[in-house]
Structure 1
Amino acid sequence: MHFISIRIPSASAELHTIAGGLGAKSWVDFQSRQIAFIRRIRGVVIVVVVVVVIVIIIVIIVERRVIVVVIIFRRAVGVAAAVV
């Protein structure tokens, strides 16, 4: 009869295994890779936010122009209707 032993690894041992799996040579190397990854993600997030803000500003400007064109068109139609 085989006994099933359940071993609960400590968090640090688990992280060391993860670090090894990611190709890190040591725990410090893993941390530096993690920091570099977080910085890269932060850079991507900043770029995405800036692009979204620029797109929103462009949309607002275009919509304002559309609204102005619609107002002018309505006035023109109103004047034409009054003349006819």
Structure 2
Amino acid sequence: MTGRMEVVGRVSGRRRWSDAEKLEILAEAFRPEVRVYDVIARREVSSSLIYTWRKQLREGKLARAERWLGLSEQARGFDKWVAVG
């Protein structure tokens, strides 16, 4: 039997995310009335990465986070969910 098969899947392999991209995704994922699940699906990011990045942000391990938090409109309310465990 011969036929045609189409494979549809997620991005394979490891992706590299810049700190700016991580902060942007975090801000999007934890906005009020936004479901983290929806952001994960749209951005093709695993849920474990979202929460790892949030932990890194709390611990000050994301470069430029303080500057970004001070300048970005996306950062409004950001400090509230960063503190949530």
Higher Rg: 1
Same-fold status (TM-score > 0.5): no
TM interval, short-chain normalised: under 0.3
**1 or 2, which has the higher helix percentage?**
1
Higher RCO, Cα 8 Å, sep 6+: 2
Structure 2 length normalisation: TM-score? 0.25
Structure 1 length normalisation: TM-score? 0.25
